[in-house]
């Protein structure tokens, strides 16, 4: 893996429009049973503009930024050897259906551990007004030769 990736910032992704059905599908997949994740009336009664995505939904948007990293010609990342090591989220507010989100990835750390490498990438996700919504931080482990 290329250690010069550390500090690299990628171009913002194309806007991602959060759809109700996508939120509902994700909520079902992660067994989120709160009515605000499925029912518009329940979400609005709780003070939200629309149904609320589970907190880990941010990974759907982050996926687009990680694709940029993995496709970077000089990254030296063999995706067939990648294992997801860690995932964290820091939210300013919940993601709701109707949000138009853009994400910008920065590589915050590149480390070598024996034959293996680890890359930590932070995806800052903002809404259509440019306000912070969530930062998703992923650590990918690239397994070295056996």
- Sheet containing 16-17, strands listed edge to edge, beginning at the edge strand earlier in sequence: 16-17, 100-113, 116-126, 132-142, 82-91
CA gyration radius, the chain: 17
Contact 135, 124 (CB under 8 A): yes
Q: Which two three-digit tokens encode residue 113?
A: 């551990």
pLDDT for the residue numbered 98: 98
CATH assignment of the domain containing 101: 3.10.129.10
Q: Is 65 exposed, middle or buried (0-12, 13-18, 19+ CB in 10 A)?
A: buried
- Phi and psi based region of residue 32 (left: phi greater than 0; alpha: psi -120 to 50; beta: remaining): beta
Domain presence at residue 81: yes
Residue 10 domain-assigned (yes or no): yes
Is 65 contained in some domain? yes
CA pair distance 144, 110, nearest whole angstrom:
14
Residues of the chain with pLDDT under 50: none
**Cβ atoms within 10 Å, residue 87:** 13
Total structural domains in the chain? 1
pLDDT (0 to 100) of residue 146: 62
Rounded-to-integer distance, Cα 5 and Cα 8, Å: 5
Determine the structural domain holding residue 124 and report its residue range: 3-18+55-142
């Amino acid at each position: 893996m290329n250690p010069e990736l550390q500090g690299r910032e990628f171009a913002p992704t194309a806007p991602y429009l959060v759809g109700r059905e996508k939120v509902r599908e994700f909520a079902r997949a992660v067994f989120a049973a709160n009515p605000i994740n499925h029912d518009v009336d329940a979400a609005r009664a709780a003070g939200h503009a629309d149904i609320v995505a589970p907190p880990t939904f941010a990974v759907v948007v982050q996926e687009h930024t990680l694709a940029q990293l993995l496709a970077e010609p000089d990254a030296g990342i063999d995706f067939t050897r990648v294992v997801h090591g860690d995932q964290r989220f820091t939210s300013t507010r919940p993601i709701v259906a109707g949000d138009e989100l853009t994400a910008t990835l920065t590589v915050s750390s590149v480390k070598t551990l024996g034959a293996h490498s680890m890359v930590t990438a932070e995806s800052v996700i903002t809404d259509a007004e440019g306000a912070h919504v969530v930062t998703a931080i992923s650590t990918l482990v690239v397994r070295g030769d056996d």
